[in-house]
Amino acid sequence: MIASLISIAALLLSTTSALVTQSLPTEPFLSQVDDQTWIIGNELWNLTQGIQYGVKLFYKNHDCVGDAVGHYVSYNGAASDLNWVSASVVSQGEYNGTQYIDVKFTANAGDMHWVIFSGLAGAYQYFVNHALPSLGEFRTLWRLDNTTFTKGKTDLRDESLPPLSNFIAANLVQDSTWLKPDGSGYLTKYDFSTWIRTQTYYGLYGDGFGSWYINAGKDYYNGNHLKQELLVHRETNTGDAVQLNMIHGTHFQVSTVDVFPDGKIWGPWLWYLNDGSKDDASERAKKEFSEWPYPWLQDEAYQARGSVSGTLILSDGRPAANVAVFLGDSASNKTALDQGSDYYYTSYADAEGSFEFKDVRATTYGLQAWSNGSKTGDVTTSFLKHNVTVEAGETTDLKTLDWKVSEKEKIFQIGDFDRTSYGFQHGGSPYTHGLADKCPGDLIYTVGESEPQDWCFVQTHLGNWTIVFDAKAPGEKDTAILIVSLAGYTTGSSSTIWANGVKIGNLTSGTPRLLNDGTTYRSATTAD
């Protein structure tokens, strides 16, 4: 079959490009044009793939890429785009009565797969690592025609992309951030950021066309529950509509450089085309979530999965109600947010402290848990258990897990220990550049009179933030501990901590102390 497709592609490319949408096979196919050009698709769409970029994306007799860059895979921003040296059909078969092929594009760093089903507008994609360097950012993406795809949607934002004319060089104030021409506010690509592990579908759409990413499985993402990423935006140099698949992201973190094992798989996720209907994309997402992990992927390690369950009880007798639970690297020296070499699972305990992870890849993990506010908002400690082994087809029952909490008497507390700025003034607001300017330089919080919402979500201005509280005079052997839980931290900050006029500590950014996490200047308002 492949040999006949090659001859068909050669014939088609000798005619006009418009004919590509009409005469290709009526089943999933790979056609090789020359040693640097291939065509993939099915009866609904087709893409011309070059060494670097996928262009001429024809769907409904329309080129969805147009003058834009198209599809590509890159790491460390745009510094290193992958170049494809060969393409082949590595497997084919039938699932639920539908034919499919798995097309592999090979680069020195690894393999990009397109799993193409007959009758599906779009394709499943996954990437298999072989020689990626230690890196922070790794992504696949589409840069599409900006007259076709005029709007962007995430779980948090759904609106038109700003027109290219709004990005005036003289109004650039910082990284990808511009003052609006009328002076009413700011435009930044980070407006379309969101929580990566809670999104269901997102993408670009316009009249008659939609391009969506549906990442049903999220175990290949780096980070924990609070992982944020940029998902769509306007490319301000060209005007391209950009749809990002940040499978290893860095925008809102400190230390995200990871080494990946040979064979690590990112994906599969579904890239889905439709007529721009969000309802249709939402229904498709429900279908994908119900079918994950995908039975059709012919990979033994991917299919080898088990489950983990247990119940967390605090040492003071309370259930660890609704706490955040994380399954990640065992015996790691990285925070849960900064882990990213392998596979990661997030969940929340129920009201009794019970939790369960399903469809977990079979290997050894470390289990962590921390307060998610509410009934456990006073818990300052975290839970950690190493060497949690998951076996294929088995349930690892950890039974009851004892979580040691502090026995010290609490003098005061402002907000919950939940690693976020929720509850504070402006905390949890939409991504907004310059919102920090609304927080004061000087602030006085009086315990017993002030409320958490009187404490602002971020401190960026020079000044003193003061807490006034009553406490009994300490005895000779008494000690007090001040615990500061930060949702984010930016380079260039330095805070001196005083108690009754006596300097007791300092928080200063920069190596080897607290590093920059990119949250404040990239408009985050809740966490890093």
- What is the per-residue pLDDT across 188-224, written as a single tens digit (0 to 9) for each? 999 999 999 999 999 999 999 999 999 999 999 999 9
Per-residue pLDDT at 176 exceeds 80: yes
93 and 239 both lie in a single domain = yes
* pLDDT given for residue 479 in this prediction: 84
- What is the per-residue pLDDT across 381-406, written as a single tens digit (0 to 9) for each? 999 999 999 999 999 999 999 999 99
256 and 150 both lie in a single domain = yes
Tokens 């360097």 found at: 133
Buried residues in 18-29 as b, exposed as e (16+ CB within 10 A): eebbeebbebbb
Q: Which two tokens stand for residue 197?
A: 């592990």
- What is the per-residue pLDDT across 116-154, written as a single tens digit (0 to 9) for each? 999 999 999 999 999 999 999 999 999 999 999 999 999
**CATH number of the domain that residue 388 is part of:** 2.60.40.10
Phi first, then psi: give them for residue 9, nearest 5 degrees: -65, -40
Reference 329, options 275, 380, 398, 260; nearest CA is: 260
Per-residue pLDDT at 316 exceeds 60: yes
- Please count the CA atoms within 13 angstroms of the CA of 55 that sit on its side-chain side: 11
Per-residue pLDDT at 423 exceeds 70: yes
171 and 248 both lie in a single domain = yes
453 and 393 both lie in a single domain = no
Residue 505 belongs to domain spanning: 435-522
> 483-488 long-range CB contacts below 8 Å, 24 or more apart?
483/380, 483/417, 485/380, 485/417, 485/419, 486/514, 487/419, 487/420, 487/421, 487/519, 487/526, 487/527, 487/528, 488/252, 488/421, 488/458, 488/517, 488/519, 488/520, 488/524, 488/527, 488/528
444 and 382 both lie in a single domain = no
Question: Do residues 226 and 372 touch, judged by C-beta distance below 8 A?
Answer: no
Domain end: 264, 298, 332, which one?
Answer: 298
Per-residue pLDDT at 21 exceeds 60: no
* CA 378 – CA 392 distance, rounded (Å): 37
Cβ neighbours around 422 below 10 Å, total:
18
How far does CA 16 lie from the centroid of its chain? 40
- What is the per-residue pLDDT across 346-363, written as a single tens digit (0 to 9) for each? 999 999 999 999 999 999
Which H or E run includes 500?
A: none
* pLDDT given for residue 263 in this prediction: 97
Average pLDDT over residues 322-328: 98
Give the DSSP letter of residue 429. Answer: P
219 and 136 both lie in a single domain = yes
List of residues 6+ apart from 394 with CB closer than 8 A: 306, 307
231 and 247 both lie in a single domain = yes
108 within a domain of the structure (yes/no):
yes
Q: Domain count of the chain? A: 3
Gyration radius from the chain CA atoms = 26
**CATH number of the domain that residue 276 is part of:** 2.70.98.10
379 and 234 both lie in a single domain = no
* pLDDT given for residue 522 in this prediction: 87
Cα angle, residue 487 at apex, residues 464 and 171 outer, rounded to 5°: 80
